[in-house]
Structures are given as C-alpha cells and as structure tokens.
Amino acid sequence: MQLVIVESPTKARTLQGFLGSDYKILSSFGHVRDLPKSAFGVDIEHDFTPKYTLTAKGKKTVKELKEELKKADEVLISTDPDREGEAIAWHLIEALKLDGKNGKPYKRIEFHEITKSAIEEALKNPRQINAHLVNAQQARRVLDRIVGYQLSPFLWKKVAKGLSAGRVQSVAVRLIAEREREIEAFKPEEYWEIAATLKNTKNKPFKEFAAKLATVNGKTLDKLEITDESKAINIARDLENASYSVANIEKKETHKNPSGPFTTSTLQQAAWQKFHMTAKATMAVAQQLYEMGLITYHRTDSLNLSIQSLTAAQSSKPRNWPRRKKTLSNSKPSSMK
C-alpha cells in the first residue's frame, strides 16, 4: 500500500476517488510544526535558526500518520505546489523521520489541477523537496516572528490590546500613511465641462445623443481651460441659440475579447468588484473549488489552462455563435457657431 499525504481532508476524499484502494489518502490538516507560541523561537545569534515544535493539532496528526506508516510500503507527499505547501511537506518529512534510509522511503509529487490525468502524470514524475521554496517560506515565517514580537507589544501599549503587527501589516500601514500624505498635499484645480443633449429632428438612425464641447471658434479646448463657473455660464448662453449639424460620422467594427484566465490578484479584484468579497473569503472559496477538482491551482501568476478543459471546450462548440455587431462611434457635431 502507498500512503499519500495531502493538506486537507476535502482534497483527500477527491484523490481517493481517482487512486482507488491501492492508495491510502490522509490529511495533515495544514502545518504540523511551527514556531512556539510561548517563546521567541528564533536563534538570532546562530544564523536566525528557527526552533520548531509540533502544534497542538500536529501532535495528534503525526501520531495517526505514524500508525499508518507501519502499513505502508512508500509515502507520497502531495501538499500544495507553492512555498507553503513545500514547507508543509518538509515539516512532515522531519516530523515523521522520512529519510529513505532509516525511515520509510518517500516521494514528493506535485500537480496543479485535481484531475485523473494530472494525478497520473504526477505519479510518473516524482521529485525531491525543493529546498529553495522551503527556505523562502522559512524566511517569511522568521521575519514575521522577528518583526511581530517587537512591534506587537508596542501596539498593545500605544493603540489597543490584542493587535498584531508583522512583515505584511507593517509595510501596508506605511503605504497607507504615505498615500494619505499625498492626498493631503494634493491641490485641487477647478475646471468645467460643457455638454449638450442633441436630438435628431428627422428621426433617422438615432433620435438623441450627448455631445461634449470640444472647440470654441475653431480653437480646441484644453481640459482645464474653463476654470470658473462664470466663464462656463457665458459659453453655455452662447450655445443656447446656436445651430448644430453632424459634420462627420465614423463607422467602426469593434472587437471585444474575453478576459484572460485569473491569476491570484485578478481573481481577488474581480471578486471584490462583483461581490464585495474580501481576499480571505475569496481564497477560501477558491481553495474549496481546487480541492473539489473544479479549478486549477489558484495561488499563482501563471495563465496556463488545463489541457483537459481546453480539449473539452474545443470539442463542444455552441450551435449558434453570436454575430459581430457594427457600432457607430465618434459622432462629431460641428463646432459652435
């Protein structure tokens, strides 16, 4: 039997359906080791070495995994394909003593979509732990601890108890403060725009349209040229009895392409714009969709699409494609007379 360790129980259930009875899929429930809560946990004097301990949940998880290890011939570690997932895999190897010599042999497998073909491909191409990804995650965690332990007590004293500061919050607060100073230093300039709603009395292609004043007596108006209300009112009065005609109509064929695949940032932006979902809520939903095999991995800047989904899309074209529409744009009324 081969023991497969993943991060979440939902992902474990999905994989079990693909791999069958020859595999036992178990979850680590995230990190099993972390820096201690009751101590600093970083040896600054000796190259910032972290001192890890099993988490409360990790103790129970490691105990259960060790029991299953006795029945397994090999261990496949299939945590998420990012820095955090790579670190979780490394912590599991350390906690379970999987070194391939004295302990059980292990392999690290990685896939970016939970489909049968992707999993089969991952099983054919196991790899070693990526030390660079592990070290990157450790550096972030250590930096969080160093900054947080120094700043959080300051916040408790000066602002309120229970607040936390760290690598991300500290930089974010500085960015907000700098932006606020820029806003306060901004000097507003008054300007006016003049527009007219014109109606086609002959009732031809369009009955009514909006026209923005662009020129006066043949001179092109700069955006900030009308700087006060009295000047705007005078120009508007001159326009009241003016005659208008359409000097030119430009016909264009416009094309609108679909948006590209989501990256992490564009996914969060779209979720906020359409549903006002926070980044945390968005990523929680995305994680669930990934674990159910409905989307590719969501913590990425890659625009790659699943070959399986592309093939499925190409083989099932809709019967009636929408026709391209020609639109009228840039209708230009003559300048003021």
Each residue of 178-192: pLDDT tens digit?
Answer: 999 999 999 988 889
Burial of 7 (0-12, 13-18, 19+ CB in 10 A): buried
pTM of the model: 0.67
pLDDT digits (tens, 9 = 90+) for 9-55: 888 888 888 888 888 999 999 899 999 988 899 999 998 999 999 99
Cα-based angle 318, 323, 328 (whole degrees, multiple of 5): 155
Pair 82, 299: CB distance under 8 Å:
yes
CA quadruple 272, 276, 280, 285: dihedral sign: negative
- Please give the pLDDT value at position 280: 92
Say if residue 54 is in the same domain as residue 14.
yes
Say if residue 123 is in the same domain as residue 11.
yes
Q: Which two tokens stand for residue 63?
A: 């105990």
Q: Residue 253: inside a domain, yes or no? A: no
Q: Residue 27: inside a domain, yes or no? A: yes
- Please give the pLDDT value at position 169: 75
Say if residue 166 is in the same domain as residue 81.
no
- Please give the pLDDT value at position 175: 92
Q: Residue 254: inside a domain, yes or no? A: no
Number of domains in the chain: 4
With cut-offs at 50, 70 and 90, classify the pLDDT of residue 329. Answer: very low
Distance from the first to the final alpha carbon of the chain: 89
- Please give the pLDDT value at position 182: 96
Here the CATH number for the domain that contains residue 28 is: 3.40.50.140
- Please give the pLDDT value at position 53: 93
Q: Residue 87: inside a domain, yes or no? A: yes
| pLDDT beyond 50 at 325 | no
Say if residue 62 is in the same domain as residue 120.
yes
Dist. CA 161–CA 158, nearest whole Å = 9
pLDDT digits (tens, 9 = 90+) for 113-161: 888 888 888 889 999 999 999 999 999 999 888 888 878 888 888 888 8
Say if residue 159 is in the same domain as residue 277.
no
Say if residue 211 is in the same domain as residue 270.
no
Dist. CA 295–CA 118, nearest whole Å = 12
Say if residue 180 is in the same domain as residue 91.
no
Q: Which range in 76-90, 220-234, 315-329 is most confidently predicted, on average pLDDT?
A: 76-90
Q: Residue 228: inside a domain, yes or no? A: yes
Average of per-residue pLDDT values in the chain: 84
Cα separation values, 177 from 2, 166, 183, 228, 289, Å: 53, 16, 10, 33, 36
- Please give the pLDDT value at position 11: 83
Q: Residue 219: inside a domain, yes or no? A: yes
Say if residue 39 is in the same domain as residue 115.
yes
Dist. CA 111–CA 188, nearest whole Å = 53
Dist. CA 198–CA 204, nearest whole Å = 13
Pair 336, 217: CB distance under 8 Å:
yes
Q: Which residue has the tokens 């607040």?
A: 163
Dist. CA 255–CA 4, nearest whole Å = 48
Say if residue 170 is in the same domain as residue 278.
no
Q: How far is CA 192 from the centre of its chain?
A: 39
Say if residue 82 is in the same domain as residue 107.
yes
Say if residue 17 is in the same domain as residue 41.
yes
Q: Residue 274: inside a domain, yes or no? A: yes
Q: Residue 213: inside a domain, yes or no? A: yes
Q: How far is CA 106 from the centre of its chain?
A: 32
* Residue-number span of the structural domain to which 110 is assigned: 2-129
Say if residue 165 is in the same domain as residue 95.
no
Q: Which residues are known to be catalytic?
A: 297
Pair 90, 182: CB distance under 8 Å:
no
What is the chain's percent helix, strand, coil content, to nearest 5? 40, 15, 40
- Please give the pLDDT value at position 320: 56
